[in-house]
Structure 1
Amino acid sequence: MNLPLQKQEVNDVRSQTSRRGGGQMERLKIGYLLPTRDQSVRDEHDPGRLIAQTRGAEQLGLDSVWAGASPVSRPRADPLLLSAAAARSTERVALGTAVLLPALRHPILLAHQLATLDRLSGERPIAGVGGGFSNPSAQAQFAAVGVGFERRISRMEESIDAMRQLRSEEAVSYQGEHFSFEDVRIAPLPFSPGGPSISLAAHGPPALRRVARLADGWPPIRPRRRRTRRSARSSRLPSSRPRRPVRAPPPWTGRSARTRTRETRAGACKRAWSATTTRHSGSSPPSRPCSPVPPARPPTG
């Protein structure tokens, strides 16, 4: 299956939005969001089409492929199972979830799935996670699986903490408000001691403080340059608080046919990368905006 973009378009966006860091040109990374929900809405349930798109993304030179997660409110294929299949069909692209809700899953099971996926793919997973939007469909989804919606954020924080501890070679005991277990060891462990990176979707000062405390990366939610910079400044942790180095993952610029608007992918790329003002290198946003590219072609095949 062909993707709704061409390799030249990918190269054009990269060349127009590369940023300088440490005196050297930094290569822009571009990701593609699989149309898992679109396929479900069209009553097309062949996961092979999505795996074919993942292979196509790698052939185009994209850096990552992402799959959404919503079992009840917006039903679609499971992102971790899709990533496992994609891992055996590709060699290079990172495989991310955009985004998975840890509050809906037990941390032992989720840590085990991510560790196995890390082994299958060769250290390519990115666990994109979030707390979930506050709307009736999201509340119904939590009710369907028997999880209290109002406590989803504390449950998510606890789940992330427990998953990180479970990456140890030693047996882990955990006592929390939502999860408790004794002498648990998962196998296989991830390739690297740190395991798959965790990117936490967030917007606003309290949520961004949570990102700095818990996560390895930050996929902005509906980024706007001024608003995101203001939120980032106001969410800085006090010097006495622990701080994790946070990096921004590749922007999710591959948009599906249903959600694509008149805005070009280059424009989306500019907004996403302009918003990421707190990367490891401390480099500044692009000095010039992305030039527009022709609208994406609809998927074929």
Structure 2
Amino acid sequence: MSGLQVGYLLPTRDQAVRGEHEPGRLVAQARRAERLGFDSVWAGDSPVTRPRADLLLLLAAVAEATERVALGTAVLLPALRHPILLAHQLATLDRLSDGRLIAGMGGGFPNPNTRAQFMAVGVPFGSRISRLEESVDAMRLLWSGETVSYRGEHFAFSDVRIAPPPSRPGGPAVWLAGSGGPALRRVARLADGWLPYPPTTATYAEELRTVAAERRRIEEDSPPRGPVTPALYATLCLDRDPEKAAVRLRASVETYYDAPLEKVASVQALFAGTPARPSTGSPGTSRPEPVTWWSAWPPTTTRRTWSCSPTTSCPFCARSTHDHVRTRPRCLARTLGLGPGRAPAARLRGPYAHPRPRRARRPRTP
């Protein structure tokens, strides 16, 4: 992976909040994201706290509907599942996608709603992190394609082999979420990538250095695994009127998380503003406000997540969203200075488009 890569987070929760329950539209959005130049398509996991379409079943459909984009979970909660079953599902999904899967995983944010979700499925909330770690270790064994045994505090099995094995040797890349000392050490020890959403660039830069240093320390006594791929999950909302952008961001975030914006902003990267270029400064040197915000983050080989709320017109070129569905992400890409055909990741919060009729896919080369 090289350079900036951007992905589209499918609005599974947003659709459920609106009471639509039409996963076929989500698959259509994934196809459109691929056509528009996105590098990856992602889906989130929360069966009880924030109910939505099952992310693995949805990504299986997306795998068959797309050919190029990477498919990611942002993020999967492995502690809610048994590692044998989850390893089998992820291996099959990696096969369906021809090795395009990224298994983003996390422990679950510590709040009452998440605790209730774990209680509902009979998993002690306090064990979620150790279950996550055991699951990663056990699944990597199972992804070898060999008959393996594992014994941990929570899971144990003997002489188990799953089929099919993943498309890639060793299984899909595992990216872990998390912030703070223990989580960063866990990323350095277990993960291929890091998918955080820190609220400030300073925090991100400091924690990225921590992950890299811890990885180097681990590799002093073990075979080198290469650097951890850094990523960023950021929620942005643009409007020609900055006050409207702020209002839309608040409405979107508070609906999605069922929490005050200020509380979410204290732990997550958020931005609301205008894409218009500043009126001051030397000609050719001013940049749109979101580009300044975007560029402040440390340069990384990363996937970044872009999120916005529904609006009646495109804040990037003022065209109506009704007739601007296919080109709107390209306007957004130009606003961020990513160049033609390079759209940033987007969790489109709202019914931006009705899916077009599904076209027949050309057969794959054997």
TM-score of the superposed pair, with normalisation by structure 1: 0.79
SS of the residue aligned with 1:88? Answer: helix
Match of residue 262 from structure 1: 272
The verdict on how the C-alpha distance between 1:241 and 1:278 changes in structure 2, with shifts beyond 3 A counting, is farther
Quick one: which amino acid aligns to residue 188 of structure 2?
A
Task: Please say if 1:76 is aligned against 2:76.
Answer: no
- Provide the C-alpha distance between the structure 2 equivalents of 1:61 and 1:219, rounded to a whole number of angstroms: 21
- Partner deviation per Cα, 1:171-216 (whole Å, 9 max, x = no partner): 1111110000110000000112121111001111221110010010
User: Bigger radius of gyration, 1 or 2?
Assistant: 2
Quick one: which amino acid aligns to residue 111 of structure 1?
A
1:245 to 215, 220, 226: 226
- Provide the C-alpha distance between the structure 2 equivalents of 1:241 and 1:133, rounded to a whole number of angstroms: 32
The verdict on how the C-alpha distance between 1:213 and 1:142 changes in structure 2, with shifts beyond 3 A counting, is same
Q: Deviation of residue 247 (structure 1)? A: 3.5
Task: Please say if 1:160 is aligned against 2:140.
Answer: no
Match of residue 311 from structure 2: none
- Provide the C-alpha distance between the structure 2 equivalents of 1:192 and 1:277, rounded to a whole number of angstroms: 21
Task: Work out which structure has the larger RCO, using CA pairs closer than 8 Å and 6 or more positions apart in sequence.
Answer: 1
- Partner deviation per Cα, 1:147-167 (whole Å, 9 max, x = no partner): 110111011000000000001
Pick which of 232-241 and 121-130 moved more: 232-241
SS of the residue aligned with 1:31? Answer: strand
> What are the equivalent positions in structure 2 for 1:164-203 lying under 5 Å apart?
164-203=140-179
Conservation of the 8 A alpha-carbon contact between 1:117 and 1:125:
yes
The verdict on how the C-alpha distance between 1:122 and 1:254 changes in structure 2, with shifts beyond 3 A counting, is farther
Quick one: which amino acid aligns to residue 262 of structure 1?
A
SS of the residue aligned with 2:272? Answer: coil
Conservation of the 8 A alpha-carbon contact between 2:4 and 2:301:
no
- Provide the C-alpha distance between the structure 2 equivalents of 1:217 and 1:232, rounded to a whole number of angstroms: 11
Task: Please say if 1:105 is aligned against 2:81.
Answer: yes
The verdict on how the C-alpha distance between 1:203 and 1:254 changes in structure 2, with shifts beyond 3 A counting, is closer
Q: Deviation of residue 267 (structure 1)? A: 6.3
Conservation of the 8 A alpha-carbon contact between 1:165 and 1:172:
yes
Q: Deviation of residue 113 (structure 1)? A: 0.4
- Provide the C-alpha distance between the structure 1 equivalents of 2:161 and 2:14, rounded to a whole number of angstroms: 38
Task: Please say if 1:32 is aligned against 2:8.
Answer: yes
Quick one: which amino acid aligns to residue 168 of structure 2?
S
Q: Deviation of residue 269 (structure 1)? A: 4.6
- Provide the C-alpha distance between the structure 1 equivalents of 2:110 and 2:4, rounded to a whole number of angstroms: 33
Q: Deviation of residue 254 (structure 1)? A: 8.1
Task: Please say if 1:44 is aligned against 2:10.
Answer: no
- Provide the C-alpha distance between the structure 2 equivalents of 1:92 and 1:255, rounded to a whole number of angstroms: 25
Q: Deviation of residue 277 (structure 1)? A: 8.2
- Provide the C-alpha distance between the structure 2 equivalents of 1:91 and 1:277, rounded to a whole number of angstroms: 22
- Provide the C-alpha distance between the structure 2 equivalents of 1:138 and 1:53, rounded to a whole number of angstroms: 28
Pick which of 76-85 and 164-173 moved more: 164-173
Conservation of the 8 A alpha-carbon contact between 2:230 and 2:302:
no
Conservation of the 8 A alpha-carbon contact between 2:231 and 2:301:
no
The verdict on how the C-alpha distance between 1:59 and 1:142 changes in structure 2, with shifts beyond 3 A counting, is same
Match of residue 66 from structure 2: 90
- Provide the C-alpha distance between the structure 2 equivalents of 1:137 and 1:177, rounded to a whole number of angstroms: 26
Match of residue 300 from structure 1: 353
Conservation of the 8 A alpha-carbon contact between 1:33 and 1:252:
no
- Partner deviation per Cα, 1:250-276 (whole Å, 9 max, x = no partner): 6556879834962466567546x5274
Conservation of the 8 A alpha-carbon contact between 1:32 and 1:255:
no
The alignment of Structure 1 onto Structure 2 pairs a total of residues equal to: 265
Match of residue 122 from structure 1: 98
Pick which of 239-248 and 99-108 moved more: 239-248
- Provide the C-alpha distance between the structure 2 equivalents of 1:206 and 1:268, rounded to a whole number of angstroms: 28
Conservation of the 8 A alpha-carbon contact between 2:180 and 2:207:
yes
Runs of at least 5 residues in structure 2 that lack an aligned partner in the other structure: 238-247, 254-269, 276-289, 304-332, 338-345, 355-366
Q: Deviation of residue 27 (structure 1)? A: 3.8
The verdict on how the C-alpha distance between 1:207 and 1:277 changes in structure 2, with shifts beyond 3 A counting, is farther
1:227 to 177, 196, 203: 203
The verdict on how the C-alpha distance between 1:210 and 1:117 changes in structure 2, with shifts beyond 3 A counting, is same
